[in-house]
Amino acid sequence: MKRKRSNHESRLARRAPSGAAVFREEVTLALRRALFEEWAEYGYAAISLERVASRAGVGKAALYRRWPSKLALASDALKTVGVDITPVPDTGSLGGDVRAFLGSLIRVLRHPIVRRVLPDLHAECARGGELAPAQEDLAKARRKLASTVIDRAVERGELSPDVDRAICLDHLAASLYWRLLVVRGSCSRARLDRLAAGITAALRASVI
């Protein structure tokens, strides 16, 4: 007579096969969030991975199974979070796309953690710190994402194919970044509308 499996044996039978570790996504997200909170409070140089794990509510082993070092954790977090936080919706026009891009960007740049982490990241890289390659990769990925605005406008005939893409990409983010993070100013909805109109005009004039 065949023996009926116990509940414990049934759970073991359903368990994923051994091999590479299967990480719980909620733990990974909690660790990334804890990293940025730690970074905003202490600066990159003083980040403690023990405190990061504690903030996330897990043991250090859970952190080290995912990333072998502070640099690996920070680089991965920048790559994973830094690109997708500003979507580039297709509004059907260059002016609309620029306004939508600035709208998503301002929400990010107003975040209190971002306002502390980004200047510290740039300072670390200016001092020749170990984060320079991660910052370069992030900048390239961000510009590739923003170039979608230019590509669409060229396809629609709103921009010349000879447009200077490097200058266009500088225009898209520089003014808002300068106002919010460098001079620590504010930007109302009306001001953002005027800024979008000005950037759109600048893009149309940026021909090689």
Instruction: Read off the pLDDT of residues 9-47 as tens digits, 9 standing for 90 and up.
Output: 444 444 444 444 577 899 999 999 999 999 999 999 999
The residues near 162 (Cβ < 8 Å, ≥ 6 apart) are: 207, 208
CA angle 152/92/150 to nearest 5° reads: 20
Cα separation, 165 vs 159, whole angstroms: 10
Residue 29's nearest CA partner among 62, 61, 51 is 62
Residue 17, H or E segment: none
Q: Which residue ranges in the chain fall short of pLDDT 70?
A: 1-21, 207-208
pLDDT at residue 73 in the model:
97
Contact between residue 101 and residue 86 where contact means Cβ atoms under 8 Å apart: yes
Superfamily of domain 22-79: Homeodomain-like (1.10.10.60)
pLDDT at residue 128 in the model:
86
CATH topology of domain 85-205: Tetracycline Repressor; domain 2 (1.10.357)
pLDDT at residue 206 in the model:
82
Domain map (residue ranges) of the chain:
22-79, 85-205
pLDDT at residue 195 in the model:
96
